[in-house]
Amino acid sequence: MAKPDNRADNVEHLQQNIQNTQRNLFEAEDYLNEFSSEISTEERNQIEEKNERRKQSIRGFRAEVKDEAAHAEE
């Protein structure tokens, strides 16, 4: 038997995901700023690409928060 859909804490989990992803993004940017002259172009590109994916994830999480808020009002 399937569990009922409990969305009560979804926004909280999404907010935590946003915070964690932002923290990782900022740490990677700090790393690039500090060590960009010491790392390979390939590693720099990989970090930059990963940060772009992080930014996309954050946008997705924020859209989900809005969706959850809309469902909470119903």
Domain range list for the chain: 20-73
- Contact call for residues 49 and 72 (beta carbons, < 8 A): no
DSSP assignment letter at 48: H
pLDDT, tens only, 21-61: 999 999 999 999 999 999 999 999 999 999 999 999 999 99
Contact criterion met (CB below 8 Å) for 51 and 29: yes
Task: Indicate yes or no: pTM above 0.95.
Answer: no
